């Protein structure tokens, strides 16, 4: 083999790219805000808002105002101290310009200005500037107003200067910016609900701080909303449980801190009569979806204290095992919020808090509180213990039920559901399974499908409402067993997504009230036991037609909505034709079902997505839970959206 010569002279200093100032942010924005999609766009807002929140947490601000105008310009104003305006010793320019043009410049380093901080630890303001078409800052201090403007990713257009006077009592900062469409190529349009929900959440997490949200666009949301919760996370728990029936009146609450580490802990919890856990953790106001040491500390402490109390009152006998956390979590709603001066996150998405010292502080603060509360409130303690004992007995029964639904192998075995009409392919990426309501529709779907890649599983009537059933009852349900066996990937916390047999799970029900109820039951089941399948985009709703327009034996057109039908009538003018209103899938023959609902070239599928886990949790609890009034109000408020409702 000929020798290959390497020309080392080709690799010189010219090949090393040095990115100056904010250029690095524009070159690799994903490193700083995660993504340049919709989530990254909204992240810009949170970076500026977090700076104002930090000012409030330090005790200097009480009101934060967020405004989005008709051009998607965002403004964030607070009544804090106002950013420092004097020349910075190291940079030689004003401190305001330093904050917005120098990475890692801010009061969050060194522990001087802020003990704890959200956002990107001093990176946030300059990153937002780097990714904006323009950004303006106004500072109100000592009766004077100062102004600076930047453009094209952070270039100074107007150095900081005094532009006017204000009342001596007026203090604070106002930041306005327009996201750069060269960076955010998917668009720079903000979503009302995303902003509304997050601002409300921050108000819950920071008791007593007033947040005002101004939405100035000419749509149904136009207006001003103010959030201020003196009860903080206690009110958050109450809000999350508004669709549930509480097991007792109290909302348990504790807060405390550790002087040696400056870690502060806040916890609120309540039990309701459902079987669903809703526990959410935060660090420095940032949601930690994967939990971490603060959540581990909470769960371990709750399990330990409840088990100890159960032993003391002889609910757990000496020879019996202690409760597991699974026994404690039924009907539990809780918020675990910590403030940390130097949080360290784990995982690719940075959604897990890794500081081990947090666990110790949570154990101490929460453990001391819970022991004292149980001694002072034995009636409440007994309710929690008795619920845990019942859950433990149900869990042991469920272990046997789980074994009955586990697959013995990936593609067959004695547990394989007999009703499943499987497809020939074993390539999960192209395989689809239609979950069909009723045997007659199942028969049409079986005959009309492409059996190479489409499987059909007919269900008998409505499946169990998993929102109102204990775990062992759920796994005793024949319809649920069949779905678990057919999917082949396990369920709950044992899911192995690599073993999923179909990358399209399609719920196909009649287009009537019963069909919609079955769809909701199905989605509730999938959300509770197969959430990763929804998160990965594998769950769909089929959209069968509502009407067929025909003349004699000839089908002229299918219509999927009432609006489509009205348009079709106008298109046909005076032509004579008949209209068939489909009451159910069973009324279609195999050919009709194929061309309208099964054929990938012509069908319409609606992908089920979860934009926000906490919001989705509340919606499912409300739709399928015990409390009637919230569900009734939801239906009344959302009736006009019914034809286009996304779950």
Q: 189-213, pLDDT tens digit by residue?
A: 999 999 999 999 999 999 999 999 9
Contacts of 359 (CB under 8 A, 6+ apart): 293, 294, 296, 297, 300
Proportion of the chain above pLDDT 90, given as a percent: 55
More confident residue, 70 or 123: 70
Residue 9 lies in a domain: no
Average pLDDT over residues 556-573: 88
Which domain range does residue 269 map to?
Answer: 233-402
More confidently predicted of 569 and 178: 178
The answer on 343 and 467 residing in a single domain is: no
Catalytic site residues?
Answer: 437, 510, 512, 514
Would you state the pLDDT for residue 15?
40
Which of the four pLDDT bands, split at 50, 70 and 90, describes residue 620? low
End-to-end, the C-alpha distance of the chain in Å comes to 63
Note whether 313 and 436 are same-domain residues: no
- Which helix (H) or strand (E) segment holds residue 121: the answer is none
430 pLDDT higher than 50: yes
Judgement on whether residues 82 and 197 belong to the same structural domain of the protein: yes
In this predicted model, what pLDDT tens digit does every residue of 339-353 receive, in sequence order? Answer: 998 899 886 566 899
Residue 15 domain flag: no
Q: How confident is the model at residue 636 (pLDDT cuts 50, 70, 90)?
A: very low
Q: Minimal CA–CA distance to 423: which of 442, 451, 402?
A: 451
Which region among 146-150, 473-477, 507-511 has the lowest average model confidence (pLDDT)? Answer: 473-477
Residue 391 has pLDDT above 80, yes or no: yes
Taking a C-beta distance cutoff of 8 angstroms, is the pair 297, 228 a contact? no
The more confident residue out of 178 and 274 is 178
For residue 271, the model assigns a pLDDT of 97
DSSP states of 320-338: SPPPPHHHH-TTEEEEEEE
CB count in 10 Å sphere of residue 561:
15
| Residue recorded with tokens 């004695």 | 414
- 405 secondary structure, DSSP code: H
Q: Assess whether pLDDT exceeds 90 at residue 642.
A: no
Contacting residues for 38 by C-beta, under 8 A, at least 6 apart: 186, 187, 191, 194
H or E stretch at 578 = strand 578-581
**Domain shared by 262 and 367, yes or no:** yes
The answer to whether residue 4 is domain-embedded is no
| Alpha-carbon span 323 to 582, nearest angstrom | 52
Residue 302 maps to which CATH number? 3.30.230.10
Residue 115 lies in a domain: yes
Q: Is the pLDDT of residue 631 over 60?
A: no
- Decide if 156 is inside a domain: yes
3 inside domain: no
**Which of 109, 70, 106, 97 is closest to 215 using CA atoms?**
70
Residue 640: is its pLDDT beyond 60?
no
**521 close to 463: Cβ distance less than 8 angstroms:** yes
Shared domain for 301 and 326, answered yes or no, is yes
* 577 and 599 share one domain: no
Flag whether the pTM goes above 0.85: no
The answer to whether residues 266 and 377 belong to one domain is yes
pLDDT at 243: 84
Return d(Cα 267, Cα 485) in angstroms, integer: 39
- Dump the DSSP string for 235-292: HHHHHHTTTS-BSSS--EEEEEEETTTTEEEEEEEEEBSSS--EEEEEETTEE-TT-B
Q: Are residues 199 and 268 both part of a single domain?
A: no
Are residues 142 and 118 in contact, defined by beta-carbon separation less than 8 angstroms? no
Q: How far is CA 603 from CA 438, 506, 541, 599, 600, in A?
A: 21, 12, 11, 6, 6
- Beta carbons of 145 and 162 less than 8 angstroms apart: yes
Out of 51-60, 72-81, 208-217, 374-383, least confident range: 51-60
Verify that 178 and 205 share a domain, yes or no: yes
With a cut of 70, say whether residue 260 has pLDDT above it: yes
Q: How many Cβ atoms from other residues are within 10 Å of residue 97's Cβ?
A: 23
Q: Which of 368, 402, 436 marks a domain boundary?
A: 402
DSSP 8-state class, residue 2: P
Q: Share the mean pLDDT of the chain.
A: 85
In the listed set 402, 421, 446, which residue is the last one of a domain according to the structure?
402
d(CA 622, CA 636): 14
**Is residue 343 domain-resident?**
yes
**Residues 126, 65 share a domain:** yes
CATH number reported for the structural domain that contains residue 427 in this entry = 3.40.50.670
Give the pLDDT score at 257: 94
Percent of the chain clearing pLDDT 70 (strictly above)? 84
Total structural domains within the chain: 4
CB 271 within 8 A of CB 387: yes
CA distances from 494 to 352, 406, 498, 499, 530 (A): 20, 11, 12, 11, 10
For the cut 90, the answer to whether the pLDDT of residue 415 exceeds it is no
Instruction: Tell me how many degrees the CA angle 408-413-416 measures, rounded to the nearest 5.
Output: 100
Max mean pLDDT among 127-141, 499-513, 560-574 falls in: 127-141
Q: How many other C-beta atoms can be found within 10 angstroms of the C-beta atom of residue 164? A: 11
Neighbours of 40 (CB within 10 A): 19
Any domain includes 6: no
Statement to judge: residues 167 and 120 lie in one domain:
yes
Q: Which positions ≥6 away from 550 have C-beta within 8 Å?
A: 556, 577, 578, 580
What's the CA gap between 457 and 479, in Å, rounded? Answer: 10
Q: Which two tokens stand for residue 53?
A: 């929140």
* pLDDT (tens digit per residue) in 92-105: 899 999 999 988 66
Final residue belonging to a domain, choices 402, 433, 464: 402
CATH code of the domain in which 164 resides = 3.30.565.10
Q: Does residue 295 sit in the same domain as residue 373?
A: yes
Does the structure show a pLDDT above 80 at 171? yes
Beta strand residue intervals within 46-90, DSSP E: 63-68, 74-78
E strands, 108-249, are 132-141, 144-151, 155-165, 172-179, 210-215, 223-227
pLDDT at 416: 64
Where is mean pLDDT largest: 38-47, 347-356, 406-415?
Answer: 38-47
């Amino acid at each position: 083999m000929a020798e290959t010569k390497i020309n080392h002279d080709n690799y010189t200093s010219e090949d090393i790219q040095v990115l100056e100032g904010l250029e690095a942010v524009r070159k690799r924005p994903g490193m700083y805000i995660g993504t340049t999609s919709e989530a990254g766009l909204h992240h810009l807002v949170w970076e500026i808002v977090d700076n104002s929140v930090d000012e409030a947490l330090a005790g200097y601000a009480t009101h934060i105002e967020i405004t989005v105008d008709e051009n998607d310009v965002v403004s964030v104003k607070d009544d804090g101290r106002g950013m420092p305006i004097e020349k910075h010793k190291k940079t030689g320019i004003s401190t305001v310009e330093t904050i917005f043009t120098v990475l890692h410049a801010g009061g969050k380093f060194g522990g001087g200005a802020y003990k704890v901080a959200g956002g990107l630890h001093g990176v946030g303001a300059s990153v937002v500037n780097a990714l904006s078409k323009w950004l303006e800052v106004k500072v109100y201090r000592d009766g004077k107003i100062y102004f600076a403007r930047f453009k094209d990713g952070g270039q100074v257009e107007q150095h900081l200067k005094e532009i006017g006077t204000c009342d001596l009592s007026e203090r604070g900062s106002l930041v306005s910016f327009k996201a750069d469409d060269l960076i955010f190529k998917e668009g720079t349009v903000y979503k009302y609900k995303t902003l509304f929900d997050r601002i409300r959440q921050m108000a819950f997490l920071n008791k007593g701080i007033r947040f005002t949200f101004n939405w100035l666009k000419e749509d149904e949301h136009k207006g001003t909303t103010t959030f201020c919760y003196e009860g903080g996370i206690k009110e958050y728990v109450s809000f999350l449980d508004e669709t549930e029936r509480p097991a007792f009146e109290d909302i348990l609450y504790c807060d405390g801190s550790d002087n040696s580490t400056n870690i502060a802990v806040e916890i609120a919890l309540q039990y309701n009569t459902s079987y669903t856990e809703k526990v959410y953790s935060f660090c420095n106001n940032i949601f930690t979806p994967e939990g971490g040491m603060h959540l581990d500390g909470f769960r371990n402490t709750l399990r330990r204290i409840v088990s100890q109390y159960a032993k003391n009152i002889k609910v757990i006998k000496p020879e019996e095992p202690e409760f597991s956390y699974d026994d404690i979590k039924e009907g539990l709603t809780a918020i675990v919020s910590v403030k940390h001066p130097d949080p360290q996150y784990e995982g690719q998405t940075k959604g897990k808090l890794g500081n081990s010292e947090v666990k110790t502080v949570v154990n101490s603060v929460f453990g001391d509180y819970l022991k004292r509360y149980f001694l002072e409130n034995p009636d409440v303690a007994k309710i929690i213990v008795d619920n845990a004992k019942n859950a433990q007995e149900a869990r042991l029964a469920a272990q046997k039920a789980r074994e009955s639904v586990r697959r013995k192998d990936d593609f067959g075995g004695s547990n394989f559901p007999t009703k499943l009409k499987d497809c020939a392919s074993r390539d999960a990426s192209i395989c689809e399974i239609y979950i069909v309501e009723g045997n007659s529709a199942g028969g049409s779907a079986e005959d009309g499908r492409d059996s190479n890649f489409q499987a059909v599983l007919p269900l008998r009537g409505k499946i169990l409402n998993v929102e109102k059933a204990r775990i062992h009852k759920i796994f005793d349900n024949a319809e649920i067993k069949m779905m678990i066996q057919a999917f082949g990937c396990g369920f709950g916390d044992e899911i192995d997504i690599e073993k999923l047999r179909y990358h399209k799970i399609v719920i196909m029900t009649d287009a009537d009230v019963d069909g919609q109820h079955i769809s909701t039951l199905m989605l509730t089941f999938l959300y509770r036991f197969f959430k990763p399948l929804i998160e990965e985009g594998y769950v769909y709703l089929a959209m069968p037609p509502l009407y067929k327009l025909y003349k004699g034996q000839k089908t002229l057109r299918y219509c999927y909505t009432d609006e489509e039908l009205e348009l079709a009538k106008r298109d046909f003018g005076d032509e004579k034709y008949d209209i068939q209103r489909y009451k159910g899938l069973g009324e279609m023959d195999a050919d009709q079902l194929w061309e309208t609902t099964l054929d990938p070239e012509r069908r319409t599928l609606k992908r089920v997505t979860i934009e926000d886990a906490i919001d989705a949790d509340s919606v499912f609890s409300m739709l399928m839970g015990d409390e009637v009034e919230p569900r009734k109000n939801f239906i009344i408020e959302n009736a006009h959206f019914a034809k286009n409702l996304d779950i």
